[in-house]
Structure 1
């Protein structure tokens, strides 16, 4: 299968969450995490209840749970940082923690130290018990394990810049055996305008998350 290469996908479009109460979930993801509700196809309303939310370049599709006696949702669970979760980037974890306390949301703190760089993490649940993380994970540079220009992506770059740089470097790696240093440097240079192009409309979140903050999804 390796000779086929990866599927021709371009980006993460959305994640889905099953919800016992759409109103509670909409309130949580809009008022606390800064998403905003967007139009949902009318044909879906005929099939099942739900809501579409968007921000940070990704959508969250809420699906009304119709399973009788579904005991998994809304069940009090231990906050386990190793559980499947969504992770959001923030530049002010102290403010995030302060607001979580004011909102009465239970959370746990964790940290990771790599090469003298510390990443702080806050974990908590959404109304249906799904795990949410807010962190400053961009402090750690993205270092490709394969031949991606042979150098780490600067942690000073935004996520969009890192992605663009990785794509440019991958293109060089796949088309040239030994690109000249001058060409390599030019192709891996990322325009600062990329970050402004990814600016999105909608309100800033209650937790002060940055635009383009979705770090990774494990579902």
Structure 2
């Protein structure tokens, strides 16, 4: 239905592709994409890791994840979703919102609005994470080694090690297992609202 609607209503989109596996879409099509929409209905850290890598290689594309409430029960999943997604949509209203969202992206210059899960936003503020630490944290909790992270973010291993140590210090832990436990504890303590809205002109 979305394919039919978009090809007739959103004429600036020259091509709309549907696939049940994003790895089947060619690199050329991914590099030209304005928006990548993922129906993320079941917990799957492997899929989120793959999307994190795709996002790194296609920074100019919007990533829209259609999620369910259950997707936010895991702290690691929560962090990865917030890192990958430019916009998240609850599946109940996904078609209506997605159509409006893609029509909006079809226009020229837009102000960027980032919606973060407020529990994750609260953790960033509470632990006083720097921008670099907040950027590195999703890669750390996804289990990536320092050498891998240097390739993703084009920074030195020394920089990654420095910020990893700072993250562990701020969370009062000494290893990744401790960080997982601390994050789960932090999420459990914060039962606030759903999203925090941050606007960039």
Normalized per residue, which structure has more strand? 1
TM-score bin (small chain)? under 0.3
Larger Rg: 1
Q: TM-score when scaled to structure 1?
A: 0.21
